[in-house]
Structure 1
Amino acid sequence: MKTLSNFRFASLIILFTLFTGVTANAQKSNITLSQLPATAQDFLKKHFPKQTPNYILKDEETFSLDYKVQLADGTEIEFDRKGNWEEIDGNERPIPNTVVPATIVTYIQKNYKGASIVKIDKGTWDYEVDLDNGLELKFNKSGEFLRIDK
């Protein structure tokens, strides 16, 4: 019985050490526009040509690397390690329709006339889209409407 208790205690210590070691490796650093992956640079030039970055963060963790960009108008964009966008948040301001899959834009224009997309999150299996009217819509990877979340 005592051996089992010692084993559990030792296991907890090992897990704690591993967990704190992994989280201790997380590093955030400010970088310049030229240090972003080329894909992200091209995306910003194409879809936000008149915006300059307030800051660009490189967020390195043990098993991931991503970039966070805040533009002068407050729009925040997250990119993966290759420079592909993962999330675009206009912070209650409309984001360009050019960054949203065409099928999603068409669905919203048809079903929510006058509504603007203020945030889009590209997940592994779906898209979450927030509208300026407070609705949160879910679409599959093909851009087909799934449901309203709010």
Structure 2
Amino acid sequence: MKKITLLLCAILVTFTSCSDDDDNTNQVLLTESEIPTAITTYVNTYFADNTIDRAVKDMDNNTIEYDIYLSGNFTLEFNADYEIIDIDGVTALPDSVIPPAILIYVNENYPQQFIRGWELEMDYQQVELNNNIELEFTMTGEFIRID
């Protein structure tokens, strides 16, 4: 009887550990030569003073994203088409990475603050200011609300 119980426990543990977990993420650390050219071009264009410290390819539930960690504490996230979808920093982001309409709005309405984060959502854009205020904008850059 003990053998049957042990066998059933072993089978249960095996099936549990092999289950398909929705939170399963495969992360691959990329070498410099493995980073897609479009991503390195973006970094060289907008973050020329920063170097790539680490690049990770995330494959999660048939979705691919690239997380790029730069010197100066900047993190960039790209989608599978190598389009920028998220930029985070502890200092001001370069003006050139912020859509002009959003940059104008922030400069006019928050002149003492700077943008330290930008994110592209499904149907809107969001920026985070250095005072932790998050502002939402339409895809064309029109102010929606404070989040």
TM-score, normalised via structure 1 length: 0.80
Corresponding position of 2:127: 129
Corresponding position of 2:35: 36
Instruction: Give distance in 2, aligned partners of 1:86 and 1:66.
Output: 9
Which segments of 5 or more consecutive residues in structure 1 lack a partner in the other structure?
Answer: 1-15
Alignment partner of 1:130: what SS?
A: strand
Q: After superposition, give the CA deviation of every residue in 1:75-122 in whole Å (9 maximum; x if it has no partner).
A: 1111111111110000x3111110010000011111111311000111
Alignment partner of 2:20: what SS?
A: helix
Whichever residue aligns with residue 138 of structure 1, its letter is E
More helix by share: 1
Whichever residue aligns with residue 40 of structure 1, its letter is I
Whichever residue aligns with residue 145 of structure 1, its letter is F
Q: After superposition, give the CA deviation of every residue in 1:30-76 in whole Å (9 maximum; x if it has no partner).
A: 10233222221111010001211111001112310010011111111
Instruction: Give distance in 1, aligned partners of 2:121 and 2:107.
Output: 22
TM-score, normalised via structure 2 length: 0.82
Instruction: Give distance in 2, aligned partners of 1:25 and 1:121.
Output: 24
CA RMSD in angstroms comes to 2.0
Instruction: Give distance in 2, aligned partners of 1:25 and 1:119.
Output: 27
Instruction: Give distance in 2, aligned partners of 1:59 and 1:138.
Output: 26
2:116 alignment partner, one of 112, 115, 118:
118
Name the larger-Rg structure: 2
CA contact (8 A) 1:37 1:82 kept: no
Instruction: Give distance in 2, aligned partners of 1:65 and 1:135.
Output: 29
- The alpha carbon displacement at 1:131 in A equals 0.5
CA contact (8 A) 1:129 1:137 kept: yes
Corresponding position of 2:5: none
Alignment partner of 1:142: what SS?
A: coil
Q: After superposition, give the CA deviation of every residue in 1:11-37 in whole Å (9 maximum; x if it has no partner).
A: xxxxx98xx425486310110233222
Instruction: Give distance in 1, aligned partners of 2:117 and 2:23.
Output: 31
Alignment partner of 1:21: what SS?
A: coil
Instruction: Give distance in 2, aligned partners of 1:106 and 1:25.
Output: 41
Alignment partner of 1:68: what SS?
A: strand
